């Protein structure tokens, strides 16, 4: 196949091509600068409030640190499942840490993608077209639908009482994340674990800083460029 020599193209086409290229480069650089700024601000935030925290390059290493904090009876609650990568990681047959524990796993997601635009992602991003992840485990329950409709106080009384709670926040947007937190909050206690998958983003950061940190004294477990996990030390007075 022969490609057209851009130098031989009409002037107008060359100008348009050059503009598109420059715009693409500008967007790429802008996005990287924005992410770098977010990461720096997130690191400063953690240092100011929590001091030195164990740092990991990968979020999977944070999950391994969480494993070391698990009790004998655990209820996992994943707010935002999408394709089920995190779910599959924890429920993998190779995850020996759960074979000696009594646990149940609850995943909440519409599986229709984002309900609204978030960052550079349009509404509907991350959809699986309503199909739940193909994970075969008798201790796993998927609650399909918008979290505002599937997570309520009646369910919370059944699910969140007794066991150590491990909550994974990954709904991206503030409103559904806050709804999930507000329902779960009365059941949180010392030793429970909170993980934020997009903690450097404004929405999850708002939930963490403006609500969770005001309600509880938190002990950091470990962090990365975007993710962070805490154990609850006590209820704030």
Angle at 126 between CA 88 and CA 158, to 5 degrees: 55
Q: Which range among 42-51, 113-122, 160-169, 228-237 has the greatest average pLDDT?
A: 160-169
Q: What is the pLDDT of residues 196-235, one digit of tens each?
A: 998 888 899 999 999 999 999 999 999 988 899 999 999 8
Using the predicted structure, report yes or no on whether residue 27 has a pLDDT greater than 80.
Answer: no
- The distance in angstroms from the start CA to the end CA of the chain is 72
Strands annotated E in 42-150: 73-79, 102-109, 140-144
At 144 the three-state DSSP class reads strand
Among candidates 95, 94, 104, which has minimal Cα distance to 73? 104
CA distance 38 to 213: 19
Write out pLDDT tens, residues 29-85. 455 456 677 878 888 888 887 888 888 889 999 999 999 999 999 999 999 999 999
| pTM for the whole structure | 0.83
| Per-residue pLDDT at 18 exceeds 70 | no
- Categorize the per-residue pLDDT at 24 as very low, low, confident or very high, splitting at 50, 70 and 90: low
Q: Which of 17-21, 153-157, 165-169, 196-200 has the lowest mean pLDDT?
A: 17-21
* Length of the chain, in residues: 237
Residue 131 is classified by DSSP as P
Yes or no: is domain 53-235 CATH 3.40.50.150? yes
Query: What is the average pLDDT across 165-174?
Result: 96
């Amino acid at each position: 196949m022969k490609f057209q020599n851009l130098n031989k193209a009409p002037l107008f086409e060359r100008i348009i091509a050059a503009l598109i290229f420059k715009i693409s480069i500008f967007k790429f650089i802008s996005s990287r600068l924005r992410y770098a700024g977010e990461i720096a601000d997130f690191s400063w935030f953690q240092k100011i409030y929590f001091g030195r925290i164990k740092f990991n390059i990968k979020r999977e290493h944070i999950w391994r640190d969480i494993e070391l904090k698990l009790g004998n009876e655990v209820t996992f609650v994943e707010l935002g499942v999408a394709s089920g990568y995190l779910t599959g990681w924890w429920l993998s047959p190779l995850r020996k840490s759960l074979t000696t524990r009594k646990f149940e796993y609850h995943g909440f997601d519409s599986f229709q993608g984002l309900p609204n635009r978030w960052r550079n992602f349009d509404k509907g991003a991350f959809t699986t077209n309503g199909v739940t992840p193909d994970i075969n485990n008798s201790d796993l329950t998927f609650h399909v639908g918008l979290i505002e409709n599937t997570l309520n106080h009646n369910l919370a009384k059944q699910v969140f009482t007794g066991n150590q709670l491990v909550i994974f926040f990954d709904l991206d947007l503030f409103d559904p994340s806050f709804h999930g937190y507000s329902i779960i909050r009365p059941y949180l206690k010392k030793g429970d674990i909170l993980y934020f998958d997009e903690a450097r983003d404004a929405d999850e950061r708002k939930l963490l800083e403006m609500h969770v940190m005001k309600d509880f004294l938190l002990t950091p477990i470990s962090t990365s460029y975007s993710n962070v996990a805490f154990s609850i030390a006590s209820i704030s007075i």
